[in-house]
Amino acid sequence: MRHYELVVVLSPMLNQEQLTETWSKIKGFITTRNAEISHEEQWGTRRLAYPIRKGQHRFLEGSYHLTRFATERAFNIELENFLKVDDEILRSLVTTTLPEEELAAQAAAAARAIRTPPPRPAPVGPDGQPLPAEGAAPAVDSPTESPVPEPLTAEEASAADEPVIDSSEEALEAAAEPELAAEELEVSEPAAAGNGSSEEAPHEPVSADEASPEESEE
């Protein structure tokens, strides 16, 4: 069988009863040609892409209707001629299509294709930090500003100028060490002098040539 799809735009001046009557007349023409209607849709009144002049009227909107049908013999040319002579039909379009089962399968495949995949987890380095993406510049740490010291008050400035007196035991011991060293030095100097005077230098033997002149004369 051959499968067709028909879209018609009816006049917006028709009320609901007139729309139903006109649409029933179109479906009757299709069914009397041994065609089987498989799908119908009413899209309601919509704004036209461009104005349509029909008779003495110029239309900016229209009522859209869609139907799909299957037939053993082609009568699309006969159907187009029938739709052209009706003043209540502003536009019509007949196209060949696929069976309903194949159309549903194509729609499901298209929905799966446009479905966004789940986000991939970011790669993590050995230190547990996320790695930068390929082609991305490495992150640069922004320099941290050093804190600016606050100005001292008058009291703090005067306190800073005064000498700091350390009253700890270590400071007292450090101050006493030079005095003790000086006293030890004074005591050691006389002892060294006494030891030098008591010790006698060894006498070297006097040779015969170095005897006194008196002994040599005798």
Q: What confidence tens digit (pLDDT) does each residue in 135-181 have?
A: 555 555 555 555 656 666 666 656 555 555 545 555 555 555 555 55
Q: What is the mean pLDDT of residues 95-102?
A: 75
* Global pTM value: 0.47
Does residue 77 form part of some domain?
yes
Q: Please tell me the distance from the alpha carbon of residue 69 to that of residue 31, in angstroms, as a whole number.
A: 9
Cβ count within 10 A of residue 1: 11
64 - beta bridge partners? 9, 44
- 3-state DSSP call for residue 199? coil
Q: What is the mean pLDDT of residues 57-81?
A: 88
Domain that holds residue 80: 2-104
Does residue 186 form part of some domain?
no
Determine if residue 169 is left, alpha or beta; phi over 0 gives left, psi from -120 to 50 gives alpha, anything else beta.
alpha
Where are the strands (E) in 11-148, listed by range? 36-54, 57-71, 89-96
Q: What is the pLDDT of residue 201?
A: 46
Q: What is the pLDDT of residue 193?
A: 47
Q: How many domains does the chain have?
A: 1
Q: What is the mean pLDDT of residues 94-109?
A: 75
Does residue 41 form part of some domain?
yes
Q: Please tell me the distance from the alpha carbon of residue 160 to that of residue 169, in angstroms, as a whole number.
A: 23
Contact in structure between 11 and 63 (CB atoms under 8 Å)? yes
Q: What is the pLDDT of residue 76?
A: 79
Q: What is the pLDDT of residue 152?
A: 63
Does residue 113 form part of some domain?
no
Q: What is the pLDDT of residue 151?
A: 64
66 - beta bridge partners? 7, 41
Most confident of the following: 26-35, 111-120, 136-145? 26-35
Q: What is the pLDDT of residue 186?
A: 54
Does residue 49 form part of some domain?
yes
Does residue 70 form part of some domain?
yes
CATH number at residue 43: 3.30.70.60
Indicate the average pLDDT of the chain. Answer: 72
Does residue 117 form part of some domain?
no
Report the range of poorest mean pLDDT among 41-50, 54-63, 209-218.
Answer: 209-218
Does residue 130 form part of some domain?
no
Q: List the one residue out of 29, 36, 41, 38 whose CA is nearest residue 79.
A: 29
> Cβ contacts of residue 86 below 8 Å, gap of 6+?
22, 25
